[in-house]
Amino acid sequence: MKKMNRKIYMAAGYNTISMGTGRKEFNPKKERPGLEQYISEAGKGTLAQVGGARNIDESVIGNFMASRFNKQGHLAGFIPMIDEGLNFKPSIRVEAACASGGMALITGIKSVLAGADAVLALGVEVQNTMKAIYVADVLAGAGWFQKRKDGHAYFFPGQFSDRAGAYFEKYGREKTRKALARWYHNAIENARLCPTAQEFHNTTPDPGAASLKMEPNGKSFVDNLNLLDCSKVSDGASAIAILSEEGLAKCGIAKKDAVEVIGFATSERDITKNPTDLTVMETIKDAAHKALANAGITINDLATIETHDCFTIAGILAVEALGFAKPGEGADFVYAGNTARNGKIPMNTTGGLVGWGHPTGGTGVHQAVTIWEQLTGKTGDAQIDIPSEKPYGMTINMGGDDVSVVAIVYRKN
């Protein structure tokens, strides 16, 4: 993608609560909302801001594993359930593992480029239907399942533990552990400012110190990461409208209340092969820099980034993939506070996957909602300063172990 043939905007974002352990309302022994409730809440939340279903031309829903978590496929058929005005309008479901939400955004963008004026994009996952060890088995489907029998019981924590171990060996364990703890601290600090975040109720006095104190233990979990280094099992949904200029007018949305999409890219790595280097996120690097090039800006123009920190080590590796730090220096960059909400490049300002939560199919859309909120000043207590000379934000949504990546660049109007 070199140049878009029409302007693309996003507006009217909505997040449900990211539900799971950590929320006061969560009780695993009691019945909880299902797919239908989350899809309906998020969809209605966006429709209420665009003048209703009559203004939507088509819809796209991102989801990873409802067929296993909820024994439910055919999710596109749930879109008309949101509002009878969506009956008989086009709807499609897309999947790209944990990047399913981002792929829903890309699908919606392409629909607008092809002629639609208003697309409802929604991402959803309900995962707390199983115990964590069984969730790990389902999520292993985001990797090559042929490797499952040889992998760790907690498959993806094991994969990223291996990345952390390689980083420890190459660049130093002590400084890296401190940086992982700082990433966790930032995540909790930001989540406490966002009422829909899974860690909103977290009252740990010093989250970073708590994480650093919790030594990884391969006998009970994985070798190089502790439980606080991992995003939690989450239920939730997010929605946003993708619009042309005509769509903005039709929905009665002023440009100041929308963000413009000025660049995007997707990138795919061979799922059957191991990463070339465990200390490098090569697919994130490829997609992010393509998106920035398409937007005509550099990383130094960005005011904030939402990156896919399914594990704290993924945050450090993303910092290096983006080019904010040289290989081996991402840990130092993070530990120095550069990615904190008042740092050089604030990342994951409502908590990211570690703090806000990771309802897998919904994460990419949640990232877009956060960037829309930040660039339009709608983030409430979680709002950061957006300098006038840096009116840009970016989302990076990853599926699997750096296999599928969606990167999108946004500009404040």
Query: What would the pLDDT profile of 199-232 be if each residue is shown by its tens digit?
Result: 999 999 999 999 999 999 999 999 999 999 999 9
Task: Note whether residue 368 is domain-resident.
Answer: no
Which whole-number Å values give the CA distances from 102 to 61, 115, 223, in the listed order? 10, 20, 31
Give tens-digit pLDDT for 39-81: 999 999 999 999 999 999 999 999 999 999 999 999 999 999 9
> Sorting pLDDT into bands at 50, 70 and 90, what band is 154?
confident
Q: Is 185 a catalytic residue?
A: no
User: DSSP letter at 148?
Assistant: G
Task: Note whether residue 30 is domain-resident.
Answer: yes
The first and second tokens of residue 210, run together, are 């708590």
- Are 323 and 306 in a shared domain? yes
Task: Note whether residue 367 is domain-resident.
Answer: no
- Are 321 and 198 in a shared domain? yes
Q: Is 194 a catalytic residue?
A: no
For the chain, the domain total comes to: 2
83 pLDDT more than 80: yes
- Are 203 and 247 in a shared domain? no
Give tens-digit pLDDT for 87-110: 999 999 999 999 999 999 999 999
Task: Note whether residue 366 is domain-resident.
Answer: no
Q: Domain containing 309: what range?
A: 141-230+263-360+373-412
- The catalytically annotated residue of 152, 289, 358, 366 is 358
- Are 89 and 64 in a shared domain? yes
Please tell me the pTM assigned to this model.
0.98
Phi and psi, residue 186, nearest 5°:
-60, -40
- Are 159 and 190 in a shared domain? yes
Task: Note whether residue 365 is domain-resident.
Answer: no
125 pLDDT more than 80: yes
Separation of alpha carbons 70 and 292, rounded Å: 37
Separation of alpha carbons 368 and 296, rounded Å: 20
* Residue scoring higher pLDDT (132 or 138): 138
- Are 15 and 122 in a shared domain? yes
317 pLDDT more than 60: yes
CATH number of 84's domain: 3.40.47.10
Strand order in the sheet with 302-306: 91-94, 58-62, 118-126, 235-243, 8-15, 259-268, 404-412, 392-399, 302-306
- Are 252 and 218 in a shared domain? no
- Are 216 and 241 in a shared domain? no
β-pairing verdict for 235-243 and 118-126: antiparallel
- Are 204 and 324 in a shared domain? yes
- The catalytically annotated residue of 98, 230, 251, 310 is 98
Q: What is the CA radius of gyration of the chain?
A: 20
pLDDT given for residue 4 in this prediction: 84
- Are 170 and 21 in a shared domain? no
Longest dimension (CA), the chain: 58
Task: Note whether residue 225 is domain-resident.
Answer: yes
- Which helix (H) or strand (E) is 367 found in, with range? helix 363-376
User: DSSP letter at 369?
Assistant: H
Give tens-digit pLDDT for 246-280: 999 999 999 999 999 999 999 999 999 999 999 99
Phi and psi, residue 200, nearest 5°:
-60, -35
CA torsion sign for 302, 304, 306, 307 is: positive
Separation of alpha carbons 262 and 159, rounded Å: 34
